[in-house]
Structure 1
Amino acid sequence: MRQTVLDKTEITKLIRRVNSLSPDKRPFWGKMNATEMLHHCNLANQRILSWNKPVNPGTFKQKFMKFLVLHVLPGFPRNVKTAAPFETRGKINTQAFENEKELFKTGLLEFAKPGKIFSAPHPYFGPLNTRDWGRVVWMHVDHHLRQFGL
């Protein structure tokens, strides 16, 4: 079975990994520091958790990208440029690390609450259903934890 944040056991594993992250931990790739990475994930997760607008149908390119990432590639590629609303480099003070870390953990726990439905569009994959979001969020968080060797 593929990992998903809809599974509380998987969230527990992700939280265990992030608990060993420190503000001075250097990434193996990319330009974000640990605080910026957590803030980036928090912005993305909050958008998914709070979405309440209509969603346009996906384009062929978005559908292709979704299929490729969810069913072919082993994970997100390194150094892919993020969508502008989630760009955090230089936009948050490293002193916010502990607060961002706590927001990260509590946000993840929201995904596994029974009855939650997620319908936000992904900036590159277009509309996703709840099952797809569970997988995409897990892949995104795993990608960034691996970025910091976790």
Structure 2
Amino acid sequence: MKNVFNAADVAELTVRINALTSTTLPQWGKMSVDQMLAHVNVAYEMVYDNRHPKPSWLMRFALKTFVKEKVVGPTPYAKNSPTAPVFRMTGVKEFAREQQRLLAFLERVQADGTRTFEGKESPSFGPLTAAEWNVLFSKHLDHHLTQFGV
């Protein structure tokens, strides 16, 4: 698994992201490449943009109890795994804009470093370690880049 806090690993992820084109087709799943990029950006929006409502205390409890380990644990995601409603994308997205946003988010996470993320609160899971944040970002991104063959 790549380390989103490591410049060399972020450079490798950047190469993969830049290999995508607006016509890249998925190897599985229903999302188009522009939707996938917008989908992946949601995790970073939750950290940096505060655009998405925080789940209720009951939903947070359920997410921490039943979902957290799947998201921040080492086991890769299965193909066609279900996703939370906030991550579901419909309609056409602007490919170049979403691609550039993702690259900027990756650069920002890497620049902010582990100190910023150690103990940082996730809207869904509560405080996470920097290692858990890395898994959350890296595993999700790798899953979808692999989905699109890069």
The aligned amino acid for 2:141 is: V
Displacement, 1:129?
A: 1.4
Q: Which runs of 5+ in 1 are unaligned?
A: none
Equivalent residue in structure 2 for 1:66, among 65, 68, 87: 68
Contact 1:40/1:87, CA 8 A, preserved across alignment? yes
Q: Secondary structure at the match of 1:47?
A: helix
Change (3 A) 1:49 1:28: same
**Mapped pair 1:141 → 2:141:** yes
Q: TM-score, normalised by structure 2?
A: 0.79
CA RMSD of aligned residues (A): 2.7
Q: Which runs of 5+ in 2 are unaligned?
A: none
The aligned amino acid for 2:85 is: A
Q: TM-score, normalised by structure 1?
A: 0.79
Q: Secondary structure at the match of 1:112?
A: helix
TM alignment of 1:1-150, pairs within 5 A: 2-51=1-50, 59=61, 62-63=64-65, 65-68=67-70, 70-71=72-73, 73=75, 75-90=76-91, 92-93=92-93, 96-114=94-112, 115-117=115-117, 118-122=120-124, 126-131=125-130, 132-150=132-150
Q: Percent identity, aligned pairs only?
A: 26
